Structure 1
Amino acid sequence: MSRRLIGVAGAPGAGKTTWARSYAAGVPTAAYLPMDGFHLSDAVLADLGLTERKGAPETFDAWGYAALLRRLREQEPHPVYAPGFERDLEQPLAAALVVAPEAAVVVTEGNYLLLDEEPWRAVRAALDEVWFLDCEDDVRRERLVARHREFGKSPSEAAAWVDRVDEPNARLVLASRHRADRVVHAEDASGAPPVS
């Protein structure tokens, strides 16, 4: 038996986590699985010289994410554990999430699901559909600055990080919007297509 895998892409700060969780909660037998668990740890980022790029495409284990998605396609008769992301620590956390064997749909979300380059093509290939979540740029930026401040950055540090890291990533993600199967607005969870 095969599961249906739905991806939700969008720029940083678009509200993908809130939107995908809400949508999954409204679908019987659905599981929610974010891409954030595949962030590389700070120790690995430091070894690779990527600490100041955290959140960019190359700072994720996208091959590992694609492999988990392929594994989830087969509805095995046992739980599948997946990494989560601990916001307070800003670190991935092993086996923090579980997809129950009866879950017939998996809703996953992340910035880069539509990038037309490896290893992200392998992620896209593992998904049945990818929807793009649209959000106003000024709303996104406000959310991002607030998030960075909440987790310890000063107002100036938060704004600088958004300008230096988040916004270049957002431009990359927005350039992939045309590859989405459907586009929905961040404020309209009811506007998403039904899962068939």
Structure 2
Amino acid sequence: MGSRERLATGALVERARRLAARPGRTILGITGPPGAGKSWLARAVVDALGPRLAVAAGMDGFHLSNDVLNALGRRQRKGAIDTFDDAGYASLITRLARQVPGDGVVYAPVFHREIEEPVAAGVGVDADVPLVVTEGNYLLATSGAWPLARAHMDEVWFLDPPDDLRMKRLVDRHHAFGKSRDEARAWASGTDQVNADLIARTRASADLVVEIV
């Protein structure tokens, strides 16, 4: 893995298109710190390639529910690595990697920011779609079951935008979903930054480190 590359979205879409052209099922992972633009890029790739070539099945659907986080005393750290069902995510990625034409649909959960909760079976993955795009913070983490998921990903891209842009996105996002500006800034520079520091240590394991231009 080399230094960070500066690439346009179109170049990344074309790289994903080449992955979709490979024989069989290919899984593309997109990772990076909070506010890096992972969900946006995953949607851009899937929208550009179309439903016959690509589908998104993200990590965020494996957030533990708020009730579970409250019971565990982790609600104020939501988004930290231990607030996800890593084994469940690894199981999903394994099923998707092994899915072949003729198999039934595999359903994946999704996360709804409007209610801050995961919803089961939010997206269906047909067996004949060649490319699955999965995105999330901890795709390159080395603890727990995360490496089991990584083992089934053909490529993982690490999004690495400038910190000032990333922080602005985070504050704007938290504010848009109900936090005051002060609360949004505190969460972005507190809980989110702790997670970002952990994620940054996984950067060297990526197949591509990119700043989107």
Deviations 1:138-190 (A, max 9, x none): 11111111111111111111111112100111111111111101112233xxx
The residue number in structure 2 matching 1:165 is 191
Shift of 1:2: 4.3
The residue number in structure 2 matching 1:22 is 44
Matched, 1:44 2:44: no
1:132 equivalent among 155, 158, 174: 158
* Count of aligned pairs: 187
Where structure 1 has 5 or more consecutive residues not aligned to the other structure, the ranges are 188-196
Q: For residues 79-90 of structure 1, what are the structure 2 equivalents within 5 Å?
A: 79-90=105-116
Matched, 1:61 2:85: yes
Percent of aligned positions that are identical? 49
Shift of 1:123: 1.9
| 3-state SS, counterpart of residue 107 of structure 1 | strand
TM-score (norm 2): 0.84
Residue pair 1:2, 1:74 contacting (<8 A) in 2 also: no
Deviations 1:72-99 (A, max 9, x none): 1122422111100111001000111111
Q: For residues 145-164 of structure 1, what are the structure 2 equivalents within 5 Å?
A: 145-164=171-190
Deviations 1:111-157 (A, max 9, x none): 11111222221221121221111111011111111111111111111
TM-score (norm 1): 0.91
Matched, 1:92 2:80: no
Residue pair 1:14, 1:186 contacting (<8 A) in 2 also: no
Give the stretch that moved more between structures: 2-11 or 84-93: 2-11
Deviations 1:13-61 (A, max 9, x none): 0000011111233335111111110000000001111001100100000
State the alpha-carbon separation in 2 of the partners of residues 186 and 95 from structure 1: 31
Q: What CA RMSD, in Å, does the superposition of the two structures yield over aligned residues?
A: 1.4
| 3-state SS, counterpart of residue 156 of structure 1 | helix
Amino acid at match of 1:69: I
Amino acid at match of 2:157: W
The residue number in structure 2 matching 1:4 is 26
The residue number in structure 1 matching 2:143 is 117
Residue pair 1:75, 1:104 contacting (<8 A) in 2 also: no
